[in-house]
Each structure stands twice: as C-alpha cells, then as structure tokens.
Amino acid sequence: MDPLISVSDVPLDHADVRIVDVRWYLADLEQGHREYLTSHIAGAIYFDVETDLSARTGPGRHPLPDPETFAATLGRAGIGNRHHVIAYDSSGGAVAARLWWMLRHLGHDRVQVLDGGWDAWIESSRPVTDVVPTFSAETFAYKVRSDDTIDANELAARLGEVAVIDARAGERYRGETEPVDPVAGHIPTAINHPHTTNVDAAGHFLPPAALRERYATDEEVVAYCGSGVTSCSTLIAHVIAGLPEPKLYPGSWSDWSSSGRAVATGPEPGEAP
C-alpha cells in the first residue's frame, strides 16, 4: 500500500476505514487533544502520543509500548485487522508517521498517512466535526517484525558501519541548544536531515525523486530523533522514495544522551568512538 493518501482519496463513512487524529506538540502536550475536541475530520478517533503511542517506562522519553498493550489499545478504539487506517497530524506527517510505523511494526500494512494532514483537509473544505465517534471493540492480532529496530548497544557497536540520520532541528543536532534532554549534541557519525525538510511549505511530502536524491546510499540506515517520534518521518520518506526502510532507534537521543555514551557537537558528523 502506498504510504501516503491524498485528501481527495480518503473514503468517509466506510466500515473498513478508521481515521486517526494524532496531532501532538512537544511544547504543549495537551494541545493536540484540545484541537481534536474542537474540530476534527468527521469520524476520526484520537490517539495521544504520550499515552496511546508510548509506554510509561522504557528507554527514552517515548518508549514503544509492548505489542500486546498496543494491540489492546487498537482493539479498544475499534481498530481490527480488517481496517484500513489513515493517520493525520498538523506536523508535516512526522507524528502520523509514528502510528504508520507502529502498525507496520505489528504486521499491519493497511495504513497510510494523510499527505498535507489537517491543513490540507481544511483547505479542501472536507467535513469536520466536534463529535467524538465510538466504535465497537475489535480484536487486533499481531505479528511483530524483528528487523526494523536497533537498540543503543547494537548501534554503538556499529557506528561507522551504518549510516545514521538525525531527524532533529539543526541547532539541536549541532548542540547549540537542547530544550528537553540532559546533554546537547548528536550521535557520532550521524548526519542531519531535519524531518521538516521532508515536506514542502504546505506540509506535503516531497516527490519520490527528491527524497531519493537526499537519502540514497548503499549503507544500511538507522534513523533517530529526540525520542523516536518524528524520526518516523525519515522512515516513511525512504519508503516514498522507493528506498530500503531504515531501522528505527526507538530510544533516540533521549536514551543515548542519558547513558553517558560518546557525543559529537558542531555541524560535522564526527568520528566513531
């Protein structure tokens, strides 16, 4: 299934479709839910990055929930294996891509990200509402992929062997500022491709050829960000480009920076320790 879906192709009132609003903002963790309650795509349910798409404990600020817990979350929301899931946000697809990746991590490939997200929907004058829908509970059976993540120990051992992409803003990569985590800088050897540069000014992903030009490499790729959320934009960008999908480092900088591991600063990737 194509990882993206356009506004005009989103089916409404279809029993096999579930639309999920995942608007989320690091500066105000409640803002996304407030916006959802005010207005959302008709029929959309809401998933919170902090509670639905993350575990309470684990490596990093947004550790992945264990598969059984996340499958139960999906089932309670009315999402089963038969459903085509469409995720949207107001962050250039970077947060919606987290849900896209998590579903595929559990073996569910019928999932897409709304290209252009909430803004594209509003600009197209498509139906919105403040009514919160409810769906009957479903059973979500899963089969976890074993080849799509990497942890800190394996990554540390393979620095210099894999291509590492840091999806954070440039100033955080360079170590000029760090508003959230305990240490500023980046993982040694990582190159910086901020997730915001995967999309155009309107929040639509760049064409496949442009993404291929940016990301094409013969090396295996690992992607990370602050806490494993917006780096999923890097993963979906590779798929859009027709490139092999990178591994996700779920703990990301929030895990690495709290472990006492080597750190690089400045605009250059730095050498492997």
Catalytic residues: 225
* Cβ density class 17-52: b for 16+ within 10 Å, e for less: ebbbbbbbebeeeeebbebbeeebbebbbbbbbeeb
Dist CA 254 CA 70 (whole Å): 22
Q: Three-state SS across 212-250?
A: HHHHCCCCCEEEECCCCCCCHHHHHHHHHHCCCCCEECC
Identify the CA nearest to 42 among candidates 4, 7, 70: 7
Angle between helix 232-241 and helix 208-215 axes, rounded to 10 deg = 110
